Amino acid sequence: MPKKTHSASYHLLKSDPELNEPPASMAEDVSAADDDEGTNKSPLWKALINLMGEIEGTNIVALPYVISQSGLVAIVALVFVPFLGFYTGAILIDCLYDENDAGERVCVRSNYKQLGEACSARFGGAISHTVQLLDLFLSASLYLVLCASLANGIFPDLPLSDKFWMFITATAVLPTLFLKNFSRVAWLSLISVIAIFIAVVGVLVYGIAHHSSWNPGKILVWDIESAPVSLAIISYVYLCHTTLPGLEASMEDKSQYRTMLGLTYLFAAIIKVTFSVLTFFSFSSNIEEVISNSLPIGVLRTVVNAFLILNVVFSYPFLVITIIQIIEDSVSPDCFSFKIPHIVWFIGIRVSTNFLTLLPAILIPHFALFIAFISSLTGSAAMFILPALFHLILKKKELKLYHYIFDFLILIFGVYVAVVGLVYTGKSLFKTIFQDH
């Protein structure tokens, strides 16, 4: 029987039963790949840092503005939403596993698409995959919008448009997208977490130094027009669910996943509530959508915005590499009728994904409204609706009555945030864009 032609790919070499003795050089490559697979796994602290870099990002700078618009309702939501986020993040990953005949947990799914297909073979996979990718793309675009706003805050006298700064940012972060796994990305996330911590401390120190001007009486109780948009923004600043399947898969010890998730949400809630409330008191008479731009022009404002830009630059790769991994898992260069060299595919998918994030940023260059728009359009589905649906359908034989009740309440809450948020965000966007023109 004639020998088949084989690819040099490690996966093909490993799975081919006819190729009993690969050449020595290829055997060495296989061994090296196995070793690399082990070193690419992330310990608990690296997974925690990656998720902190995602959830404790620069979206925090919009929260004082949110409190100025919705008052006490926003503060309550800042405490309440992370509990929901932890629960839905936990059940989302639980739905990746089933029990075998021996009662052991076995991973049978790996992503949103497979979860959707398990729930509905016809449309579930496509809907879940679309929601996940759209949310990740829009979130990455949001970083570019924020970076443009921060850069203009540092250089207010330069005649440079937001679109120019967005393009510069997208170009600057491109080299970081050639990292191949989350273990390496964790070092960038660590820099981003340190940068946001320094920026937050800078704003807080300024605010506390001017505590004599604090007036808690300025906090609103409720504003029916602003509350839906604010709730959408708050839901978004705790959103990390589209990255969770890939992050959990990258962990050395997957049994530590809930510990990692719980610690992340605990730290995030403490930091977000403390920062947003104290900065609202400090800048209640002058709150910009990006709170650092409320600082007086000078050294402090420049330093704070510079560290926020560092946070953007080093948080962006985690999101975009997640997108790239999802695309590479779904599409291979070998599936095309014409041959695409692997190096061309490797570079091309990173460059094109990077600059595709520019398009939404250019179309919606308003930071707070962009957050609310993303959360209403895809964030609520990714954080509340889909995890609750997956849990109700895939784990229905294991659920107790209180699980059903809680999941249905989360489902209703997610639909409310999505529908009402889209209506009010759409109205605000229309007014803003109409006024701009």
DSSP 351-400: HHHHHHTHHHHHH---HHHHHHHHIIIIIHIIIIIHHHHHHHHHTTTT--
Q: Tell me the per-residue pLDDT of 258-316, one tens digit each, with 9 for 90 and over.
A: 999 999 999 999 989 988 888 888 887 678 777 887 888 888 888 998 998 998 889 88
Q: Residue 253 has what pLDDT?
A: 93
Give the pLDDT mean for 234-245: 90
Q: What percent of the chain has pLDDT over 70?
A: 85
Rounded CA-CA distance 353/346 in Å is 11
pLDDT at 20: 44
Ramachandran quadrant class, 239 (left: phi over 0; alpha: psi -120 to 50; beta: rest) = beta
Locate 248 and state its tokens.
């959990």
Angstrom CA distances, 381 to 143, 323, 348, 372, stand at: 21, 17, 30, 13
Q: How confident is the model at residue 434 (pLDDT cuts 50, 70, 90)?
A: low
pTM of the model: 0.79
Residue 221 has pLDDT above 70, yes or no: no
pLDDT tens string 32-79: 444 444 557 889 999 999 898 888 776 788 888 888 888 888 899 999
* The residue type at 8: A
